[in-house]
Structure 1
Amino acid sequence: MDEDDELNNIRKRKLEEMQRNAQQQNQIDDESKRQMEQEEARRQQILRQILTTEARERLSTLKLVRPDLVNNVENQLIQLAGMGRINRVIGDEELKGILSRLIGTKRETKIERR
């Protein structure tokens, strides 16, 4: 009977430890999520300051098919704004020009053999 009690105590302690670890992990996950949300809110605030509504809408639409390109453009614009190199609001036409230059330089030619 003693061994059964000891085994039950060990199981109980192990279960409590696992529950504590799970709670700690959830707290870490929540904090990481909160930090990511704050970072995204900060990015969107900067983009609202440097892009017109139409330009932001274009990026949102393009993000559905080319998220890597949009993230790259947003990062570059945010970095330039942070350095003070953007001193005006960028409109849709100017953004289209930026995007066409980036897409034009990164387009790959694929040749398939049959």
Structure 2
Amino acid sequence: MSIDENYDEGNEGQETGQDDLEAIRQRKLQELQRQAEEERRRQELAAQRRAALRAILTPEARERLDNLRVVKPELVDALEQQLIALAQSGRVKVPITDEDLKKILETIYKQTHREFRIRYR
């Protein structure tokens, strides 16, 4: 075996390694592009949701929901979805005022709140 033959065999290993590295780079690039597309879709849906809520709620009611989001983000997300659905189906008077929202929140609280009593004997 000559020196040139050894050199060629060594280059084949390097090319395979470079091909593998390029494949890894391509997969990583595709993954990053997919993540960027998902994030763009999430932002687009959030913008549509905010626009719908601007049309459905008065500024005071939106402010109340924003304040409540700090404490109960899951509740606010679910409530916003319900309000949008109700408004689209015409089952609620639009715009929803702060007083209307308070009544809705009070109803939800009564339905979900559990009172615990501890008795000592």
Q: Normalization by structure 1: what TM-score?
A: 0.90
Correspondences of 1:14-53 after superposition (within 5 Å): 14-53=20-59
Residue 6 to residue 105, structure 1, CA distance change in 2 (3 Å): same
Structural RMSD (CA) = 1.9
Asked whether the equivalents of residues 50 and 86 of structure 1 are also in contact (C-alpha less than 8 Å), the reply is no
Aligned to 2:110: 104
Q: After the TM superposition, which of the residue ranges 42-51 and 1-10 deviates more from structure 2?
A: 1-10
Aligned to 2:3: none
Q: Normalization by structure 2: what TM-score?
A: 0.85
What amino acid is the match of 2:47? A
- Structure showing greater radius of gyration is 2
Q: Structure 1, residues 57-80: CA drift from partner, whole Å, max 9, x if none?
A: 000010011011101110100111
Matched-pair identity in %: 38
Q: Structure 1, residues 17-61: CA drift from partner, whole Å, max 9, x if none?
A: 111111111111111111111101111111000100010000001
Aligned to 1:72: 78
In the alignment of these two chains, the number of paired residues is 114
Aligned to 2:94: 88
Kindly state the Cα deviation for residue 84 of structure 1 after the two structures are TM-superposed: 2.7
Check if 1:57 corresponds to 2:63.
Answer: yes
Residue 97 to residue 12, structure 1, CA distance change in 2 (3 Å): same
Q: After the TM superposition, which of the residue ranges 39-48 and 101-110 deviates more from structure 2?
A: 101-110
